[in-house]
Amino acid sequence: MNALLTHKNAFVTGATSGIGRATALRFVREGARVAAVGRNASALAELVELAKAASKDGPDRVVPITADLTSDAARAAAVDQARRALGGIDVLVNAAGILEGGSVEATDLARFDHSMDVNLRVPFDLLRRLLPDLIERKGNVVNVSSVTGTRAFPGVVAYCVSKAALDQLTRCAALELAPRGVRVNAVNPGVVRTGLHRNGGMTEDAYQAFLERSKETHPLGRVGTPDEVAAAIAFLASDQAGWITAATLPIDGGRAETCAR
């Protein structure tokens, strides 16, 4: 069986952990070359080593790019570096994101703006910067959204709003770019075992209790894994999904159907 992404070049953000790292490795296994973008240089170096094990020619398949994508200059430099190294980009995967807790009352404008910056403004600007490549190569975009983009949950207002906006960006861009041959889709995971919640300030004890509770809130009775989400991203990025655009795909064990339960 042929690999899904042979001869594809991908630009993957958030590649140092969680869904982003799993996606970068899955893309390598599926035959792609990957510009792997993240803030942690040592984690990117580890990713390169993991890619060697995932592919016989792994060292040439991952281009590590250390960048803080909240900087306009860093985004421009990362895109330029990826183009020089790979010769053009076929797939953009916006996997970098943050989760900041807080109710409407407790979320100040600085926290709200930071969530919108990382979860929405950065993906939008990367799409704009890579659009010439995507149009020329008939490429596609996969945004990593969340079940909170389609359903409301208390205590995470900035996160919910930013992911709902990312879903709408996905649909709007898909309609505008379809005549140019560019597809735009999103995946909407439920709870996935990554560092997202702990990075957002959740203590280890609270996180373990949250995972236990998630067995009840997800109808399939468990949380997801980064590899499960990465497999769906790889499919959407492949030519096998060539008639799919503007989709926001739940990968959530049924969580979206239970809403705030």
Q: Which residues does the annotation mark as catalytic?
A: 159
Place of tokens 């996160």: 159
Which residues fall within 8 angstroms of residue 74, CB to CB, at 6 or more apart? Answer: 67, 68
Q: How far apart, in whole angstroms, are the C-alpha atoms of residue 97 and residue 117?
A: 10
Contact 64, 47 (CB under 8 A): yes
Sign of CA dihedral 260, 157, 17, 119: positive
Which residues fall within 8 angstroms of residue 17, CB to CB, at 6 or more apart? Answer: 38, 40, 43, 194, 195
Residues 24, 28, 32: CA angle, nearest 5 degrees? 105
The DSSP output letter for 93 is: E
Contact 67, 61 (CB under 8 A): no
3-state class (DSSP) for residue 205: helix
Q: How far apart, in whole angstroms, are the C-alpha atoms of residue 229 and residue 91?
A: 16
Q: How far apart, in whole angstroms, are the C-alpha atoms of residue 68 and residue 155?
A: 27
